[in-house]
Amino acid sequence: MTRFSIAVLAFAFATPAWAQDAALLDAGKRVFLKCRSCHSVEKDAGNMTGPNLWGVFGRKAGTEPDFQYSEAVKKSGIVWDEAKIDEWLSSPKSFLPGNKMAFIGLPKEEDRKAVLAYLKKKSAEE
């Protein structure tokens, strides 16, 4: 087999990055359905049972306007980044005792990774 043949085969069987990204976003959208009953993720959609998550990255916890947060969240001092959101999604009650989120969490790392990708994409949309 020539180097050219190997290169063609490698190209043919490699999954392009955009396809991987699209698959991750599709998975995130599906997993986010578990969150959708309480959270919106569209700009200016308002709060629901939980706060709107559009633009959550870089936001200080407990500061989304017009949402009644628990004292635990308001006093946490957390600034939401990928690592903190991942920890929260893993087990909200364990991560921050005293919060009022009833959701048990997403124990699978791949589900949390997908939701994080989806939230990032949605937060970038205007």
85 touches 119 (CB < 8 A): yes
For 61, the enclosing helix (H) or strand (E) is none
Which tokens hold the place of 34? 């578990």
3-state secondary structure of 79: strand
Reported as a single tens digit per residue, the pLDDT across 3-13 is: 544 444 444 45
Domains of the chain are 16-124 (1.10.760.10)
- Residue 89: the pLDDT is 97
- Residue 11: the pLDDT is 47
Rounded-to-integer distance, Cα 90 and Cα 105, Å: 5
Q: For helices 109-124 and 17-32, what crossing angle results, to 10°?
A: 100
Rounded-to-integer distance, Cα 87 and Cα 23, Å: 23
Reported as a single tens digit per residue, the pLDDT across 34-45 is: 999 999 999 999
Reported as a single tens digit per residue, the pLDDT across 43-90 is: 999 999 999 999 999 999 999 999 999 999 999 999 999 999 999 999
Which tokens hold the place of 115? 């939701």
